[in-house]
Structure 1
Amino acid sequence: MFETVEIQVWVVWVTGLLALAGLLDRILMPSVRWYLRRRFNRAIEQLNSKLQLQIQPFKLTQRQVMVDRLAHDPQVMEAVLEHSNEEGIPYHVAAKMAMGYAREIVPSFSAFAYFGFGIRFARWLSRTLYRVRLGYVDEGALQKMDPNATVVFVMNHRSNMDYVIVTFLAASRSALSYAVGEWARVWPLKQLIRSTGAYFIRRKSRNLLYRRVLSRYVQMATAAGVTQAVFPEGSLSRDGSLRPAKLGLLNYIVSDFDPDQERDVVFVPVGVNYDRVLEDRVLLAANRGEKTGLLFKLWTFVHFVVRHLWLRLTGRFYKFGYASVSFGVPLSLKAFLAEKEKVSHEKMTADLGKALMKQVGRVIPVLPVSLVSTVLLDQGETPLNAAEVQHLAEAELERLLANGAHMHIPRKRLDYAVEVGLRMLVLRRALVEKDGRFTLQPEQLEVVRYYANAIAHLR
């Protein structure tokens, strides 16, 4: 019992380290976790005091807890049972599928990732590529919004830069939760986007169980007051024009909404426009019915990056013109439903989609390239000098403004706006300048029409 036992030194070291780790885990780590959690809560409180729309506790809940809540939601469990019976598969198999969908959909919001890295990256990228301008804003209407309401920003979808620029310009108001398509589900983009609070959706999925899980997440987030941003058009506009709303996400929000509940849902129309859309060539190719698979998109992206870097190195780079975002008058869901008491749910949802897209269309900013493109298309192949283009643009702008349009005029000078529009189209090889006169290139008419379509609904 009192005999000496010899053991190797490395065993003593390992045992000591394990004992120290256990001691730290039992005594020190709880205190550290409490300290960090307290610092985190204080940081969120300070952040919320600066935001118009506060970050709701729902977004700060641990991701695994949210996954479990979603997968075991009574409506999801009912959908699992229905799927099991319809497909003839065991209940636990269907439940495992639902759990997988929940893990795929639920984000993992990080305030540090969003406001620390995300906003700074969005600001840097936006200002690197564009001259970013805040367009029309009804500040009075935005300030009057019920602070307890769930706010949903409803936007047209021109470019994947929409996410970046709107996030940057809305940073002082709230943290937006986007519905992101399949394009972003690649490593490491997937982890980064999920940490900013975005949730992934399969836009073309017809799986009813998946749709039920997705709808319940959207409804839970809406009921909890999470600020969201949706693109009712569903995908990027291939011809540049504003398209009718697809009612998927809107239907999820409306179908579970109770007008008698305390929390309202307020839709804020957002209009986005660019002097140049980065993906315009790819979108136009897809609109022509050409194949635009992964290799085509990858080659286009690599070519764009290499050319962009070369222009910067040689000092010949021009920013891609102006990018502008406007915010319209909020629409209360309670007020809208009060006017639609006697109509069916399907018609009410369709009417809501039309009303929202109409308001979004009204606040899409008129930018130099869109205005100049419209004027040039009206004149056909007739060569025009800058003064003639300016005269026609002035008359066109008056008509647009009379219809309620909003324009961003750089430096408040129409002549400079026309100069910007002409320069951008010349750089795109859609115009040729000869002896001070500009002529449209027939093979590039679809590019000019693409930018004119952005404001065609305002004429």
Structure 2
Amino acid sequence: MPRLWHRLVESLLGRWLGFRLIEPESPAIDVDLPTFYVLPHASLTDEVALSRLTRDRNLPRASHVHRWSPCRLPACFALPRLKRTRRGVTGQHAPQLQALLEALEADSALDAQLVPVSVFWSRAPGKDFGFWKMLAADDWAWSGRLRRLLSVVVNGRHLEVHFGDPIRLRPLVDGPHGRLTQRKVARVLRVHFRRVRARVLGPDISHHRTLMRGVIESRPVRELIRETAATNASSEEKERRRAERYAREIASNMSYPVLRFFYELLKRLWNRLYDGVDVHGLDAVKAIAGERTLVYVPCHRSHIDYLLLSYVLYREGLMPPHIAAGRNLDMPVIGPLLRRGGAFFLRRSFKDNRLYAGVFNEYLHRLITRGHPIEYFIEGGRSRTGRMLSPRPGMLAMTLRSFARDARRDVAFVPVYVGYERVLESGSYLRELRGGKKRKESPLDLLRVIKHLREPHGRVSVNVGEPLSLAGFLDHIEPDWRGQRDALRPEWLQRSVPALGATLARRINAAASLNAVSLCAMTLLATPHHTIEADLLISHMTLLVRLQRELPGSERCRLPIGDASAWIDHVVALGFVDRQSQSLGELISARPEQATLLTWYRNNGLHLFMHFSLVAFAFRNNITFTLDELDALLKPAWPLLADELYFSVPDDTRARLAETLATLEAHSLLRRTEDGWRRQPGHLAASEHLRLLGQLVQPTLERVYLLLASLLRYPSGELTRQTLEEHSRQLAERLTLLSGLNAPEFSDRRLFSGMLDTLEHEGWLRETQDRLHFDDALSRIQMRSRGLFDPELRHRLVRLTHRPASDSDITRDG
């Protein structure tokens, strides 16, 4: 009778059910072994859905019955629901599982595999949604019959099925660890189901008002309310109301209907905007999602970064995160929607408002300790130059303090690189790259996006870097951190935050995506007039991909597929370059506005080629080098380049240099001789490829030279940091004007500030009493670096830095 009822329900629902996600797409099930599917709880609709899926996918049928004498075992069964009573936990006995194990023990020739399966009728966080709670799908409270019936009607076309790794039973039954009991197996299965449920649905979310009430009633916030009332000579009730206003201003109000709305809307938007969204590396996140609090830290290139990542996570079966957003995005209409999609808002600065800071810290702490996935941008704002910006300490410091306060659950940072072939903000970036000011966001920005929907934008890559365990990171760099956890501001915090930010920035960049636009930009912008022969462009883009593929440690970097000729067609179609027919061969060129915009896309992947580019640049002014000579010349440059562009420098730079030389030799860009390595004759194509490759690092080296030359013009201890930064910026700006370059980012003052930080960290510079001090070692480094530059470029830089200084250029006393 039960099987008849099962077949009847399956015949009624079979045509209605639809599967939005099957994870993994091809389960690793051995079709030759008897297969038993295990569900986390008894549900006829789940069994029907699984039966339909296994039939459609040609998997071992879930509706099958195994006839093993003397019993008949159904191929699909559920674990009994656990109930806690005064006498303990009941429901631990699983009769079907017990019968299966007894059959295996009775007949040593039998074998079987258990496949845990979780079925989600769409998804909803565990939260009271009123009428939607009846219609919405799975949450942390098991559905009743009426609710499941309504859910079948509403969500039956959006099923998600997650298969676990099969568990082969014969090796366990015959194993050396004693008799295998059904309780042991059931315990393993329940742990698996709990992790999958946490990964897909996130932790159980309390009501929005309950969460805010918990923040206000927490001991740290109550103490701040009393202190603020005493300081402001006001009542505690007044300060409490102010704290409540802050909580409402900050907190997200995640709503399942809005999540579902965003998913459907964004699916249509991405299909209209892009040719596809490529996702790589999420398997590592899925493996830890149910065990650790996830903090997603993507690079920030576009306004839609956070929407895109939330869409991808939802599509791939992971819970979308709570997203830290600037208060400027809490606009009419847009703000409430973002808040219900998971955004929580913060002010740009609140260091002078202790009560606001306390409320925000407590809210963030509760999200982290409860295991809610979180997302924020460590760069602070969008990158207007296309390169990784210096990480801001704010959110990182608050996350570290929260973890130190309660480290029972590990935190895993998930670096994410988002690579666009064309960003929606191309127009505003072009204006800002030319020196225009950033416009304040407004609801009208949405209308500006709509007008671009018909334009081509290529593909988007979402690449996940190597996750970072926060506990493991602190254990490595601060072994004694656990002993100082009770301190309000422990000593290790100030040292750890910059190190954590730099590590995450490098992991984001290590997962970068090279695409046709960035490859074309790197090559075209290395030419004097932004024009190049089509065949040379094709061969050089191909060379760049081959070099990157052979670079050690570049496994996470994504490379374009196809051939370079098709890549150029794609870049032309996107409107970044123009074709010019010429009798001796086709030319590819970029107009001034195109060239300016291409600098943004070139900078996306510039860090990936620094190992090759620095070596190539050294050979531009030198015919031959031994390994020792080249290592001595380039060694001081590695920290400056790595800190500006956020890539990893190996501990043994000499060994990496030898590998780089061998790779360049393998591609005929250099030639090995008895005296070392030698560049190819100038008339060969290899010489031009080496020049184009070396051009990538030239802007950074020029900035370093300008900074050092400006500093060393004056005695040690005479210049202030601010004076040197500003003077170096002015020199860089002058150099771009004299050279006819349209690259405002070249004179970005923050780049010179970062260089000074690196020089100080490496011990070549020190700041004492607001003055910069150095010794002869820095002068020797600068003299040695002159060998990198050809005479003409060196003469131009020297003449620029030694021109008479006016009062407007530099003031010695700062």
Shorter-chain TM-score: which interval?
A: 0.7 to 0.9
Query: Separation in 1 of the partners of 2:233 and 2:514?
Result: 55
Indicate if the aligned counterparts of 1:369 and 1:422 stay in contact, CA closer than 8 A: no
Tell me which amino acid in the other structure corresponds to 1:383.
T
Unpaired stretches in structure 1, ≥5 consecutive residues:
1-31
Among 255, 259, 273, the residue aligned to 2:401: 255
What is residue 542 of structure 2 aligned with on the other side?
394
**What's 1:433 paired with?**
580
Aligned to 1:188: 333
Give the aligned residue type for 2:226: L
Matched, 1:450 2:590: no
Q: Is the Cα contact below 8 Å between 1:71 and 1:213 reproduced in 2?
A: yes
Q: Shift of residue 277 of structure 1?
A: 1.3
What's 2:479 paired with?
Answer: 341
Structure 1 residues 219, 279: closer, same or farther in 2, change over 3 A? same
- 1:148 aligned to which of 284, 288, 291: 291
Residues 420 and 35 from structure 1, CA distance in 2 versus in 1: closer, same or farther, beyond 3 angstroms? Answer: closer
The residue aligned with 2:676 is none
Superposed displacement of residue 41, structure 1 = 7.1
Amino acid at match of 1:137: G
In the TM superposition, 1:83-98 aligns within 5 A as 83-98=228-243
Cα separation, partners in 2 of 1:359 and 1:36, compared to 1, 3 Å: closer
Question: Could you tell me which of 262, 281, 301 is aligned with 2:427?
Answer: 281
TM-score by length of 1: 0.81
Residue type matched to 1:155 in 2?
P
SS of residue in 1 equivalent to 2:509: helix
Whole-angstrom distance in 1 between the partners of 2:129 and 2:274: 43
Structure 1 contact 177–229 (Cα < 8 Å) conserved: yes
Q: Please give the per-residue CA displacement for 1:95-135, whole angstroms capped at 9, x wherever unaligned.
A: 22111010111111112221x21111121112211123324
Counterpart residue number, 1:5: none
Matched, 1:423 2:567: no
What is the Cα deviation at residue 158 of structure 1?
A: 0.3
Give the one of 497, 500, 504 matched to 1:356: 504
One-letter code aligned to 1:92: E
**Structure 1, residues 210-252: CA drift from partner, whole Å, max 9, x if none?**
1221111111100000011111111110111111211211211
Q: Tell whether the 8 Å contact from 1:136 to 1:406 is kept in structure 2 after alignment.
A: no
TM-score by length of 2: 0.47
- Opposite residue 304 of structure 2, the aligned amino acid is M
Q: Report deviation, 1:393.
A: 0.6
1:170 maps to which residue? 313
> In the alignment, which residue of structure 2 is the partner of 1:112?
257
Structure 1 43/183 Cα, relative in aligned 2: closer, same or farther at 3 Å? Answer: same
Residue aligning to 1:158: 301
Following the alignment from structure 1 to structure 2, what is the Cα–Cα distance between the partners of residues 33 and 170?
A: 22
Q: 1:136 aligns with which of 261, 275, 280?
A: 280
Cα deviation for residue 372 of structure 1 reads 0.8
Pick aligned residue for 1:409 from 556, 560, 570: 560
Give the partner amino acid of 1:129. L
TM-superposed CA distance for 1:400, in Å, is 2.9
Whichever of the two has the greater Rg, that structure is 2
Letter in 2 for 1:332: S
Q: Write the letter of the residue equivalent to 2:213.
A: D
Structure 2 Cα separation of the partners of residues 417 and 448 of structure 1 = 15
Q: Say if 1:35 and 1:170 are closer, same or farther in 2 by CA, change over 3 A.
A: closer
Asked whether the 8 Å contact 2:413–2:467 carries over to 1, the reply is: yes
Shift of 1:443: 4.2
Cα offsets for 1:29-73 (capped at 9, x unmatched): xxx999975665745669897567143445x31111112111222
Q: Is 1:80 matched up with 2:225?
A: yes
Deviation at 1:392, TM superposition (A): 0.7
Question: Structure 1 or 2: larger helix share?
Answer: 1
1:367 touches 1:408 (CA, 8 Å); kept in 2? Answer: yes
- SS of alignment partner, residue 199 of structure 2: coil
Q: Partner amino acid for 2:603?
A: N
Query: What one-letter code is carried by the residue in structure 2 that aligns with 1:123?
Result: K
Does residue 225 in structure 1 map to residue 371 in structure 2? yes
Given the superposition, is the C-alpha separation of residues 189 and 415 from structure 1 closer, same or farther in structure 2, using an over 3 Å criterion? same
Query: Counterparts of 1:306-345 in structure 2 under 5 Å?
Result: 306=451, 308=452, 312=454, 317=455, 319-339=456-476, 340-342=478-480, 344-345=492-493
Which residue in the other structure is 1:365 paired with?
A: 513
C-alpha contact (below 8 Å) 1:366/1:408 kept by paired residues: yes
The CA deviation at 1:300 is 7.2
Give 1:26's aligned residue: none
The code of the aligned residue for 2:479 comes to: E
Q: Counterpart of 2:288 in structure 1: which amino acid? A: M
Deviation at 1:152, TM superposition (A): 1.1
Contact 1:138 1:329 in 2 (8 A): no
State how far apart, in whole Å, the 2-side matches of 1:359 and 1:100 are: 38
CA distance in 1, matches of 2:298, 2:445: 26
Q: Is the 8 A contact 1:108 1:195 kept in 2?
A: yes
Aligned match of 2:91 = none
**Would the aligned equivalents of 1:273 and 1:365 in 2 still touch at CA under 8 Å?**
yes
CA deviation after TM superposition for structure 1 residue 417, in Å: 2.4
Q: What count of residue pairs does the alignment treat as equivalent? A: 412
Structure 2 alignment gaps of length 5 or more = 1-127, 144-158, 163-195, 481-490, 610-814
Indicate the RMSD between aligned Cα atoms, in angstroms. 3.0
**Residues 260/236 of structure 1: CA separation in 2 closer, same or farther (3 Å cut):** closer
Partners of 1:323 and 1:419 lie apart in 2 by 18
Contact 1:270 1:327 in 2 (8 A): yes
What do the CA deviations read for 1:342-393 (whole angstroms, capped 9, x no partner)? 5721111221111111101111211211111111111231532432211111
Which of 211, 234, 258 is the matching residue for 1:66? 211
One-letter amino acid of the counterpart of residue 423, structure 2 = V
The alignment-based identity, stated in percent, is 23
Matched residue type, 1:159: S
| Residues 97 and 441 of structure 1, relative CA distance in 2, 3 Å threshold | same
